[in-house]
Amino acid sequence: MAVHEISHPLVRHKLGLLREKNISTKDFRDLASEVGMLLAYEATRNLPTEKVTIDTWSGPTTVDRIKGKKITIVPILRAGLGMMDGVLKALPNAKVSVVGLYRDEQTLQPVTYFKKLVKDIDQRQALILDPMLATGGTLVATIDMLKQAGCRDIIGIFLVAAPEGIDRLRASHPEVDIYVAAVDERLNADGYILPGLGDAGDKIFGTK
């Protein structure tokens, strides 16, 4: 399993802005979407391409086209929706498979309440979107669902990941690679990432 911590200056700068204590809902939303687009750009860096010859204004020319598996993005409700617009800017043709899970505040266990996957998910690469990878329970449950539907090619992008969640992912689904803006220090006693971003869903939806 590979953890790609994207060190591009734009990503680091925008992540720094996301960490500001008094950030507005609008700014958090805009930045989550922008970093989502940049992470999607990195996560698709190795997509295979093929040469095709096309007609252009100056005659036939050979150009590159992406080939191979199509992609479905998988935003995890709610907070994953905050990255979706940005990711769709990079992948405008991607189909969207939505899953809804929340983390029980007491037990920190994921609770699934929604699932609507594209029909041909077994033929696609799934790109999971969630701002936060904390204990890893939500991500592992999501991957379980995708595998049950026949999907075998899965990667994920996150704004911030905790080492504890990465260890959990490695133990359960070691073939799933992830792309993150930062691997932070640790979880606090309530399962929040430190230094982290706070509750990403509340910040995106303004529900604090």
Ligand X SMILES: O=P(O)(O)OC[C@H]1O[C@H](OP(=O)(O)OP(=O)(O)O)[C@H](O)[C@@H]1O
Ligand Y SMILES: O=c1cc[nH]c(=O)[nH]1
Residue 4 binds which one of ligand Y, Mg ion, ligand X, none, with CB within 5 to 8 A depending on kind?
A: none
Residue 203 tokens, joined: 């910040």
Check binding of 130 to ligand X (CB under 6 A): yes
Closer CB to Mg ion, 86 or 131, in the complex: 131
Does the annotation flag 134 for ligand binding?
yes
Residues that bind Mg ion (CB under 5 A): 199, 201
Give me the DSSP letters along 125-178.
Answer: EEEEE-SEESSSHHHHHHHHHHHHTT--EEEEEEEEE-HHHHHHHHHH-TT-EE
Alpha helix segments (H runs only) across the chain: 9-18, 25-43, 81-90, 137-148, 163-172, 200-205
Query: Is 78 annotated as a binding-site member?
Result: yes
Q: Which is nearer to Mg ion, 65 or 114 (CB)?
A: 114
| Binding positions for ligand Y, rule: CB under 6 A | 132, 134, 191-193, 196, 199-201
Q: Pick the closer one to Mg ion by CB: 165 or 201.
A: 201
Minimal distance, residue 108 CB to ligand Y, in Å? 9
Cα separations in angstroms, 39 against 16, 45, 108, 192: 15, 10, 27, 22
Q: Which does 75 bind (CB under 5 to 8 A by kind): ligand Y, ligand X, Mg ion, none?
A: none
- Residues that constitute the known binding site for 5-phospho-alpha-D-ribose 1-diphosphate: 78, 103, 130-138, 199
